[in-house]
Amino acid sequence: MIDCGLTNRVVLVTGGSGGIGAAVCRAFARQGARVAVHHLAAEPAAPSGTQWEHITPPTRAAEALADELGGAAVAADLSAPDAAHRLLDDVEKALGPVAVLVNNAAHCENPDGIDDLTADGLERNYRVNAIAPALLTSELARRATPDGPPCIVNITTDAARAFPGQIGYGTSKAALEALTRASALDLGPRGIRVNAVAPGPVQTGWMSSDLVAQVEPMVPLRRVGEPADIADAAVFLASHQARWITGQVLQVAGGHAL
């Protein structure tokens, strides 16, 4: 058995109430971590002609998961300018200082092709997918103490290099990968590690059986991903075993999009 060194450490998972986020919460809890399940209390309605391409579980889902894991549910709208400060304050009050930050929450909408871009749509993507993780990373670094530097794991996408038809989403995730590398260089001298996991196509309920059958031949390992595949990688990057790894984007995709 390997001791990941996560026992009693406080882990904040943004977008933690469902899908990959919930799997990440459970994976850290199995290692003895104290998990803060971030969620969006009330999602605004999509503008006319726009459709949200993500599912926001209700508050009760976050609360039920936090109860299951012995952690805490914390609500915040990550598109708000003061969200990072408020969210970390709330987690510290509930569980203590954050030792591991998993920036998992994401915004995705349609239409998002090059012919459909709007300033508002781009801003919605970037505020959640790039700006919020940057501000959370910065705020967490300011609160760090030399005797226990935190670490950050960002969740991006294996299509961040080029995502046709998803321009706002894809480029904002590419910005998150650039943030991973830049902040790793800035924060390395303080002992703060920053890495990312880039998932391939993961079944969180959004893929029909026909779409799964279409996607599987594109994956060298011949299956779509499961949330646990991503969660295990996030735990590894936060663990003692990854103590000399920083600035890396780990593609967890079964060989998809190599």
**Is residue 2 situated within a structural domain?**
no
The owner of tokens 């203590």 is: 96
Residue 3 lies inside a defined structural domain of this protein = no
Q: How many CB atoms lie within 10 A of CB 18?
A: 22
Q: What is the mean pLDDT of residues 7-32?
A: 97
In this structure, is residue 240 part of a structural domain?
yes
Structural Rg of the chain based on CA atoms: 17
What residue numbers bound the domain in which 213 lies? 10-252
Find the Cα–Cα–Cα–Cα dihedral 164, 168, 173, 175, rounded to 10°. Answer: 110
Residues 40 and 75: beta-carbon distance below 8 Å? yes
Q: List residues with catalytic annotation.
A: 169
Tell me what the pLDDT averaged over the chain comes to: 95
> Mapping DSSP to helix (H, G, I), strand (E, B) and coil, where does residue 126 land?
helix
Rounded mean pLDDT of 98-107?
A: 97
Whole-angstrom distance, CA of residue 202 vs CA of residue 257: 13
Tally the domains of the chain.
1
Q: What's the rounded Cα separation, in Å, for the pair 6 and 137?
A: 19
Could you tell me how many helices (H) and strands (E) the chain has, helices first? 8, 9
What does residue 152 show for φ and ψ, rounded to 5 degrees?
-125, 135
pTM value?
0.96
Tell me the CATH number at 222.
3.40.50.720
The pLDDT, as a whole number, for residue 55 is 77
pLDDT in tens, 179-226: 999 999 999 999 999 999 999 999 988 888 999 999 999 999 999 999
Would residue 1 count as lying in a domain? Answer: no
Name the helix (H) or strand (E) containing 198. strand 193-199
78 within some domain = yes
* Residue carrying structure tokens 């530097």: 149
Instruction: Determine the Cα–Cα distance for residues 176 and 144; give it in Å rounded to an integer.
Output: 21
222 Cβ contact partners less than 8 Å away, ≥ 6 residues apart: 216, 254
Q: Which two tokens stand for residue 167?
A: 């321009």
Residue 1 has pLDDT above 90, yes or no: no
Instruction: For residue 64, count CB atoms less than 10 angstroms from its CB and return exposed for 0-12, middle for 13-18, buried for 19 or more.
Output: middle
